Structure 1
Amino acid sequence: MTSYVLVPGADGRAWYWHRLVPELRARGHQVVTLDLPADPAADLDTFADAITAAIHRSRGEQSCDPLVLVAQSLAGFSAPLVCERLPVAELVLLNAMVPAPGETAGQWWERTGQPQARAAYATATGRDPQAEFDLRVDFFHDVPDELTEYALAQEVGGPPAALFAQPWPLDGWPEVPTRVLQGREDRFLPLAFQRRVARERLGLTVEEIPGGHLAALSRPRELAAHLLRTDDASDDAAGAVDHH
């Protein structure tokens, strides 16, 4: 049995993982989820401490099960810090930001060229490259309607501003086996962009998965298969389309 620790992105809610959790538990694994701190002053260390505390509460201090961290989007900045606190068997970046030492999350966008990559992908898929960011279009385009409506009806303050101002504190990537899972239809962090960032910053090859930026909501079964490296991880070609 493996303990999968699922760290949400900018939304900060454990709810994001609610469709993936039963998929992993049905296959015999333990799953740890958490709501991230909403304190406006919370920084990366605060988040890393909260993740570590949630792991201790759920698994106990003496658990010997392999520990796998799954970091969604913005959690690419905080989850690696947990690897300095606990023995992590594997770190999985899911449609995630990959920081460089000393870089803030606020600087990351321009330094990586994300705005240009997002616009180029919009053009390639027949959308307006100048359109403002829209949650429905950029994040929820392949998520079931009822989940989209529920998520957007919630009052969520977003990530603390301190997260975007704090330089990433590690001197380099933690010495932990790392995988990069990236949705083929991610409109926010396009696949080609993520391939380049993973190669340049981590020396890693992206593992393609079906779905957009919120794959845990749109394609939970397929995501579980990729996380577990099972035989059904291959994508159904009919499902791997972008909904313009």
Structure 2
Amino acid sequence: MPPGGKLRYGAIMANFVLVPGARLGAWAWDDVVPRLRAAGHGAHPLTLSGLADKRGVPAGQRTHVQDIVDEVVRHDLRDVVLVGHSYAGIPVGQAAERIGDRLAHVVFVDSSVPADGEAFVSAWPDGGAEMRAVLAGNGGFWPPAPAAHFDGHGLTDEQIARIVAGSTPHPGATLTEPAVLTRPLGELPATYVLCLLADAEPADDVAKLLAGERWRLVEMDTGHWPMFSRPRELARILLEAAGD
């Protein structure tokens, strides 16, 4: 059996690398990971530098890309399904092209997608001016969101409390440093998960990618944090992306 692979009925199973969105850590995938492992796959939830249990580690956008690549290489993972939620779509999309033939698929969970030379904040209506002001006023960090931020996303009060309690300030350089891509993002084999309580239609950049042959759209009737609100359904979508 190849390192990092699992066998079931003679087939090599997928290795999911699960990257949480802004302010969150690997713990955000706690309700999804057991379902992936129960299906015989590897599941590797990842905390990005500067967040959760890695709080205090200096981090920029390139750091987060390297975090993901290092996780794949460290465990010698093959048949990798990279999963990025929200902000994490930016580093995940860049890491996907850097792991070469280790990659099987990418799943963008209601996420941003990278564009060469553009930062996470570039897509904001004001070009990121408001975010940069927030970062400047908070020591270079994006502060955790209050509980009210999560209203209307299909979350219980308990789930919201769990997210708020576990959130940590997000390092601002990861939001303002530009992405670097060496080939068109549309060449990646990808699934985009659109959470309908957050947005009824994909953003324009995502819609263009979905018009290509290698991307497909899956809709979820829930809010922006489906790993909390619909973990069973999200796990099923991830398994389908892996060909299960």
Indicate the TM-score class for this superposition, using the shorter chain for normalisation: 0.7 to 0.9
Deviation at 1:14, TM superposition (A): 0.6
Aligned match for 2:69, one of 52, 74, 77: 52
Whether 1:168 and 2:179 are equivalent positions in the alignment is yes
Q: Contact 2:94/2:179 (CA < 8 Å) preserved in 1?
A: no
Q: Contact 1:183/1:212 (CA < 8 Å) preserved in 2?
A: yes
Q: Contact 1:210/1:219 (CA < 8 Å) preserved in 2?
A: no
Aligned match for 1:24, one of 36, 49, 73: 36
Aligned match for 1:143, one of 134, 144, 155: 155
Deviation at 1:6, TM superposition (A): 0.3
2:226 is aligned with what amino acid? A
Q: Deviations over 1:39-94 (max 9, x none)?
A: 5741222111111222334xx32x54x11001000011101221233121101100
Corresponding residue of 2:19:
7
Q: Contact 2:85/2:111 (CA < 8 Å) preserved in 1?
A: yes
Aligned match for 2:90, one of 58, 77, 82: 77
Unmatched tracts of structure 2, length 5 or more: 1-12, 51-55, 128-143
RMSD: 2.7
What CA distance in whole angstroms lies between the structure 2 residues aligned with 1:175 and 1:67? 16
1:55 is aligned with what amino acid? V
1:47 is aligned with what amino acid? H
Q: Deviations over 1:149-172 (max 9, x none)?
A: 1321346112x1111221211143
TM-score, normalized by length of structure 1? Answer: 0.73
Whether 1:221 and 2:236 are equivalent positions in the alignment is no
Corresponding residue of 2:123:
108
Secondary structure of 2:103's counterpart equals: coil
CA 195–20 in structure 1, closer or farther in 2 if over 3 Å, else same? same
What CA distance in whole angstroms lies between the structure 1 residues aligned with 2:197 and 2:148? 12
Whether 1:180 and 2:192 are equivalent positions in the alignment is yes
Secondary structure of 1:213's counterpart equals: coil
Q: Contact 2:84/2:109 (CA < 8 Å) preserved in 1?
A: yes
TM-score, normalized by length of structure 2? Answer: 0.73
Corresponding residue of 2:221:
210
Deviation at 1:101, TM superposition (A): 1.8
Unmatched tracts of structure 1, length 5 or more: 113-132, 231-244
Q: Contact 2:150/2:160 (CA < 8 Å) preserved in 1?
A: no
Secondary structure of 2:98's counterpart equals: coil
Task: Report the structure, 1 or 2, having the larger strand content.
Answer: 2
Q: Identity over the aligned pairs, expressed in percent?
A: 31
Secondary structure of 1:90's counterpart equals: strand
Aligned match for 1:156, one of 159, 165, 168: 168
Q: Contact 2:61/2:175 (CA < 8 Å) preserved in 1?
A: no
